[in-house]
Amino acid sequence: MEHGGPEPLPAAAHQAETDDRTALVDKPKNKGGNGDLASAGFNIINSIIGSGIIGLPYSMKEAGFPLGVLLLFVVAYITDYSIILLIKGGNLSSTNTYQELVRKTYGLVGYLILSTLQFLYPFIVEPDNVLTDRHFVILLTTIVFTLPLSLYRDIAKLGKVSLISLILTIVILIIVMVRTVTLSPQVPKSENAWAFAKPNAVQAIGVMSFAFICNHNSFLIYGSLQEPTLKNWSRVTHVSVTLAVVISVMFAACGYMTFTGYTEGDIFENYCRGDNLATFGRFCYGVTVILTFPLECFVTREVIANVFFHGNLSTVFHIVLTVVIIAVATGVSLVYDCLGIVLELNGVLSATPLVFIIPTACYLRLSKERWTHSDSLISCLILAVGVLVMTVGFVLTVLHPQECSHGKEMFYCFPSNDSFPNSTFPP
Q: Answer yes or no: is 10 within a domain.
A: no
d(CA 176, CA 308): 44
Q: Answer yes or no: is 35 within a domain.
A: no
pLDDT per residue as tens digits for the range 239-254: 999 999 999 999 999 9
User: Span 164-188, mean pLDDT?
Assistant: 92
What are the two backbone dihedrals, phi and then psi, of residue 351, each rounded to the nearest 5 degrees? Answer: -65, -45
- Segments forming the whole domain that contains residue 254: 40-413
pLDDT per residue as tens digits for the range 28-53: 545 556 778 888 899 898 888 877 78
How many folded domains does the chain comprise? 1
For the domain that residue 242 is a member of, what is the CATH number?
1.20.1740.10
Tell me the whole-structure pTM to 2 decimals: 0.80
Task: Check: CB of residue 267 under 8 Å from CB of residue 71.
Answer: no
Q: Answer yes or no: is 11 within a domain.
A: no
Give the chain's mean pLDDT: 80
Q: Answer yes or no: is 423 within a domain.
A: no
User: Is residue 24 over pLDDT 60?
Assistant: no
User: Span 13-17, mean pLDDT?
Assistant: 48
Q: What percent of the chain has pLDDT over 70?
A: 79
Where is average pLDDT lowest: 83-87, 129-133, 155-159, 202-206?
129-133
Q: Answer yes or no: is 334 within a domain.
A: yes
pLDDT per residue as tens digits for the range 319-368: 888 888 877 777 666 665 566 666 777 778 888 898 899 999 999 999 88
User: Span 281-292, mean pLDDT?
Assistant: 84
H helices of 183-229, in order, are: 201-212, 218-223
Q: Answer yes or no: is 183 within a domain.
A: yes
Q: Answer yes or no: is 7 within a domain.
A: no
Q: What percent of the chain has pLDDT over 90?
A: 31
pLDDT confidence bin for 129, thresholds 50/70/90: very low
Residue (of 165, 158, 170) closest to 51 by Cα position? 165
Query: For residue 180, what pLDDT is reported?
Result: 95
pLDDT per residue as tens digits for the range 290-332: 888 888 788 788 888 887 877 777 888 888 888 888 777 776 6
pLDDT per residue as tens digits for the range 213-236: 888 888 888 988 888 899 999 999
Instruction: For residue 225, give the 3-state DSSP assignment.
Output: strand
User: Span 105-122, mean pLDDT?
Assistant: 83
d(CA 194, CA 203): 18
Task: Check: CB of residue 129 under 8 Å from CB of residue 268.
Answer: yes
